Structure 1
Amino acid sequence: MHQEAFLPARRTPACAAPQPVTLTQAEPVPAAQDHSTTTTERGSFCLARCTCGWSGPARRSRDLARTDAERHRTGT
């Protein structure tokens, strides 16, 4: 006969304090010649991406995604 393993439910104490969030300084954006930005579409959203690994927020407006890419590329 097969017996199911019993796993107790995980419980978080009701009085558990939230953990502090440590914010770090954003790394400076390298020179513009190190960046090549493009826009890509995912369903009804468009987002900007860069060769450095940066990715902008998903936008419904292609124009806003292009603006995000330009701001990233110029460092503004």
Structure 2
Amino acid sequence: MKKQDFVVRFAGEGGQGVVTSAEGLAQAASQVGYHVQTFATFPSQILGGPTWTQTRISNTSVLSSGDDLDVLVAFNQEAYDA
């Protein structure tokens, strides 16, 4: 069966543009006709705490965050190691 979705996780520290990057990707994919959903975690810290946002892009309806990553965009070494 052909893969019908693509999952990208942006990870880094709060304030590095993790959420903005994921939202930009989601908006671009949506504008060309894909189904998109973004899922995020936010720590209790305001800036500098670990955070990640996952964007799932599909040609069918998106109902969950997805099981496996296709791409990890790590903004720092800690995000890559986690």
* TM-score in terms of structure 2 length: 0.25
Q: Higher relative contact order by CA 8 Å / sep ≥ 6: 1 or 2?
A: 2
Larger Rg computed on CA atoms: 1
> Which has the larger strand fraction?
2
